[in-house]
A and B are shown apart, each in its own frame.
Chain A
Amino acid sequence: MIHDYLILSVILFCLGILGVITRRNVFTVFMSIELMLNAANLAFIVFSRVHESMDGHVLAMMVMAVAAAEAALALAVVILLHKHKGKLDTNVFSLLKG
C-alpha cells in the first residue's frame, strides 16, 4: 500500500521536474512547481497515515500556505514581466543578466 502511494508521489515529482526543465512557457513552469509541491504533500500524508501520527497533516497545511504565498508573488512578477516585455517566454526574462 505505502509503496504504491510513494511511487505515485515520485512519478508526479519527476513529471514536475520535466515540466520545469523542458518547457519555456512561464505559466507551465510555475504550474509544474505547484505539481512538485503536491507530490511532496502526498508523501507527507502517506507517511502520516503509516505512522498514525498527524504531524504530516500539519506539515501539508504549511506547504499549502507556502504554495499560496508563492502563487501570489509569482503571479505578480509574471504580470509585471508581461507588462514590461509583452512575452511569456522564460528565455526573454533575463533581466538580471550582467
Chain B
Amino acid sequence: MFAEVLFIAFAALSVLGAMGLILFRHPMKGAMSLIVTMISLAGLYALLSAKLIFVLQLIVYAGAIMSLILFIIMFLNIQDNDLPVEEGRFLYLAGGIAVIIPIASFLIKIVNGLPDSQVTIVGNGFGGVKEVGLILFQDWLLPFEIVSLLLLVALIGAVVLAGKRRLVK
C-alpha cells in the first residue's frame, strides 16, 4: 500500500530529525533537524486528511516559528566556544533514556489497550477550511477569543522584554 510506505518514510524522517535535535551540539544544526521533523509531521497530517492543519503546520510551524528561532540563533552569532560545555552529555543521555523507558513503555501499553479501528473513508470535506472554520466559530468561539487575548499578552510581553533599554553601569 502506498499510504503505509509514506507513513513509514515520514515517521522515520521525523524520528531521525528529533534525534538530531537532541544529539547535535550546535543549536543551528538542531534547528535544521527540527525543521525536518516539522515537515515530515506535515506529511503525516496530509496522510490523516487534515488539510488545513497540513497547511498551517507548513506555514506557521516550519515557516514562522522555526524561521524566528533560526533568526535569533543567527542574530546572537553563536560560536563554538560560546556553547555550554557538555562533557558528560552522553552519560546524561544514557541516564535520561533509563528514566524515559519506563514512561514510554507505560504510554505504549496504554496505546495498545485502545481499540484499533479500521481505516475508514471520510468525506471530501473532512479537514477543509470551511468545515474546520464552522466548528471553530460555532463551538469553539470562546476559546478562540481567549487565544486572541493570549496572543495580545505575548505581543505586549515581547515588546516590554526585548525593547527594554540596557541600564548604564
Binding site for B on A (CB under 8 A): 1-8, 10-19, 21-25, 27-28, 30-32, 34-35, 38, 41-42, 45-46, 48-50, 52, 54-55, 57-58, 60-62, 64-73, 75-80, 82-83, 86-92
Contacts and interface: CB of A to CB of B under 8 A. Distances in A.
A2 B111 CA distance: 9
A47 to B, nearest CB: 9
Contacts, number: 226
B78 interface: yes
Where chain A touches its partner, the secondary structure class is helix
A91 B84 contact: yes
Contacts of A32: 21-22
Where chain B touches its partner, the secondary structure class is helix
Given A28-B22, A49-B49, A54-B126, A89 B84 contact: yes
A32 B27 CA distance: 11
B104 A23 contact: no
B6 interface: no
Which of A28, A34, A88 has the largest count of B CB atoms less than 10 A from its CB? A28
Contacts of B84: 24-25, 87-92
B124 interface: no
Interface in B57-113: 57, 60-61, 64-65, 68-69, 72-73, 75-76, 78, 82-86, 89, 92-93, 95-97, 99-100, 103-104, 107-108, 111-112
The 10 tightest CB contacts between A and B, nearest first, are A69-B154, A89-B84, A27-B27, A76-B161, A19-B22, A76-B162, A15-B18, A22-B92, A22-B96, A6-B111
